[in-house]
Amino acid sequence: MSDLRICVNGACGKMGSEVVRAIAKNEGVVLKAAVDFMNVGKNIGEIAGTKDDILIQDDLKQALSKDEIDVVVDFTNHKVIYGNSKTVLEMGIPMVIGTTGLTNEQVDELKSICEQKQVGVLWATNFAIGAILMMEFAGKAAKYFGNVEIIEYHHDNKLDAPSGTSLTTAGIIKEIRKSKKQGHPDEKELLAGARGADYDGFKIHSVRLPGFIAHQEVIFGDVGQILTIRHDSMNRESFMPGVILGCKEIVKRNAFIEGLNKLL
């Protein structure tokens, strides 16, 4: 069986370059194209520290047209992910998307294109296997604990808050936990936002500081006890087994799949 030919979009970013390195280390996959608006014309191997001899391109459609690509991995940003996705899917190429920011309406349209083109997409807010388990365990705990708060910690260059992982976790909890407004009914914030963002009556808190990569605590409370479920990604390499798994699995599907857990 031939290697899976991959195009990395956003190849010069922190996550994109990590994907390039992961492809170089794993069997069954090979980097075929690298796309980014930075370092155009330079060798991605020099940027990512691999032996790849591939020049960085800035036109995604052109890169896909001239190179035989089996799957596109996209780690760009929320401003361009929708346009990127439409370009790739309309060419009938599967995708693994690690970029957040798609609206419900955009997701619906991408699902429609997947159906029309019979092509697969994996859209995941987190590719760390431990983070997937953290969300799974939080869902189980929500059946027995009605009070919960989420604290997520990320580096200070992260653009969105709350994180996609915390919103996914909150959505899982909402499906299981009986809706209610937590806290004292007369609670008053002396500073606006002190209690965090409200989600179905419970709070999500976002911390942004240098030194963090991606971390999350789901804290459940009940009379006389606290249950904390926490996951820590100490480096971006922690996401790579999930990305490679996603690439190998999504080429077998023909639907828009939300969450790496659906492939485990």
Confidence band, pLDDT 50/70/90 cuts, at residue 146: very high
Condensed to tens digits (0 to 9), the pLDDT of residues 20-72 reads 999 999 999 999 999 999 999 999 999 999 999 999 999 999 999 987 999 99
Same domain, residue pair 196 and 88: no
Active site (annotated) includes residue 178: no
Which range marks the domain in which residue 38 is found?
4-123+237-263
Q: Is the pLDDT of residue 1 over 80?
A: no
Domain total of the chain: 2
**3 state SS of 143:** coil
CATH code of the domain containing 116: 3.40.50.720
Same domain, residue pair 154 and 49: no
Same domain, residue pair 38 and 53: yes
Catalytic residue from among 154, 205, 215, 231: 154
Confidence (pLDDT) at 159: 85
Condensed to tens digits (0 to 9), the pLDDT of residues 73-84 reads 999 998 999 999
Confidence band, pLDDT 50/70/90 cuts, at residue 225: very high
Same domain, residue pair 34 and 100: yes
Same domain, residue pair 193 and 177: yes
CATH code of the domain containing 137: 3.30.360.10
The whole-angstrom separation of Cα 251 and Cα 243 is: 13
Same domain, residue pair 108 and 164: no
Burial code (b: 16+ CB inside 10 Å, e: under 16) for 228-258 equals ebebbbeebebbbebbbbbbbbbbebeebbb
Confidence (pLDDT) at 67: 74
Same domain, residue pair 103 and 57: yes
Catalytic residue from among 78, 111, 158, 174: 158
- % the chain with pLDDT above 70: 100
What is the chain's mean pLDDT, rounded? 95
Q: Is the pLDDT of residue 219 over 90?
A: yes
Condensed to tens digits (0 to 9), the pLDDT of residues 114-136 reads 999 999 999 998 999 999 999 99
Both structure tokens of 87:
């370009």
Same domain, residue pair 148 and 91: no
Asked if residues 134 and 261 have their Cβ atoms less than 8 Å apart, the reply is no
Same domain, residue pair 110 and 187: no
Asked if residues 186 and 151 have their Cβ atoms less than 8 Å apart, the reply is no
Same domain, residue pair 162 and 251: no
Report which of 172, 185, 173, 186 is spatially closest to residue 147, judged by C-alpha positions.
173
Active site (annotated) includes residue 111: no
